[in-house]
Amino acid sequence: GAVVSQHPSRVICKSGTSVKIECRSLDFQATTMFWYRQFPKKSLMLMATSNEGSKATYEQGVEKDKFLINHASLTLSTLTVTSAHPEDSSFYICSARQVDSNQPQHFGDGTRLSIL
Amino acid sequence: DAKTTQPTSMDCAEGRAANLPCNHSTISGNEYVYWYRQIHSQGPQYIIHGLKNNETNEMASLIITEDRKSSTLILPHATLRDTAVYYCIVRVDSAGNMLTFGGGTRLMVKP
């Protein structure tokens, strides 16, 4: 079945560092990918919709200059957390769905980001 | 997208069937019912989805009422590995549509 790969699975870094998270669709093409954030014991919250070849669409309250999204190909979207601070520590998850298909969305295994 | 209501938590004995209910009384005619689950510290896993008819796959069965205002996910023989948060989501089936997650049901399968 469709697989979405997310890398890295865990990042620990100092405050002020920028961190890039990759999301790849391994056996299908995805014009649209989604980035979610999840805090402990909470549900997933959509951050932005990543569109191949165009600008991402951000949800209200999500800073686009803070969370840079690039969707350069049909199989790769990246989320860069710029100048990360402790409050950015969270579980970041991407999802994707095959183009022109009735297949459901599939999710990556998430990236746990810890900012010290 | 229609809102869903699920119990916050449920327990189930290992080997027994787990029946997880979901209310979606405002569902529209073109909205599908999706079920995902999230095991601790992992991304959500797709389970099953349906529009009107009952559906079954290797993981579970989905029973949708005739008026489509509620549904039940059935795990026929729950195992300890089925302990997870189960999310019921309704939305129009379109590649561009994101999934909106509610609180889900925390299913605890006990020995």
Q: How confident is the model at residue B41 (pLDDT cuts 50, 70, 90)?
A: confident
Q: Which amino acid is at B102?
A: G
Q: How far is A92 from chain B (nearest CA, A)?
A: 9
* Higher-confidence position of A10 and B2: A10
The pLDDT of residue A2 is: 63
Q: What is the pLDDT of residues B86-103, one digit of tens each?
A: 999 988 766 557 778 888
C-alpha dist (Å) from residue B57 to A84, A107, B50, B62: 42, 19, 11, 9
pLDDT > 90 fraction of chain A, expressed in percent and rounded = 72
Q: What is the pLDDT of residues A32-82, one digit of tens each?
A: 899 999 999 899 999 999 888 888 999 999 999 999 999 989 899 999 999
The pLDDT of residue B1 is: 64
For residue B27, pLDDT over 60 is answered with: yes
* pLDDT average, residue stretch B61-71: 96
- Tell me, yes or no, if A54 comes closer than 8 A to chain B by beta carbon: no
Per DSSP (E only), the strands in chain B are 9-13, 18-23, 31-38, 45-50, 55-56, 61-64, 70-75, 84-92, 105-110
C-alpha radius of gyration, chain B, whole number: 13
- Which of A26, A74, A44 lies closest to B95 in space, CA to CA? A74
- Which of A78, A86, A75, A91 lies closest to A4 in space, CA to CA? A75
Q: Which amino acid is at A3?
A: V
Q: Taking all residues of chain B, what is their mean pLDDT, rounded to a whole number?
A: 92
Q: How many beta-carbon pairs below 8 A join chains A and B?
A: 54
**N- to C-terminal Cα distance for chain A?**
37
- Which of B83, B87, B85 lies closest to B102 in space, CA to CA? B87
Q: How confident is the model at residue A1 (pLDDT cuts 50, 70, 90)?
A: low
Q: How far is Cα B23 from Cα B87, in angstroms, rounded to an integer?
A: 12
* B59: exposed, middle or buried (Cβ count in 10 Å: 0-12, 13-18, 19+): middle
Structure tokens at B55: 């559906």
Q: How far is A110 from chain B (nearest CA, A)?
A: 5
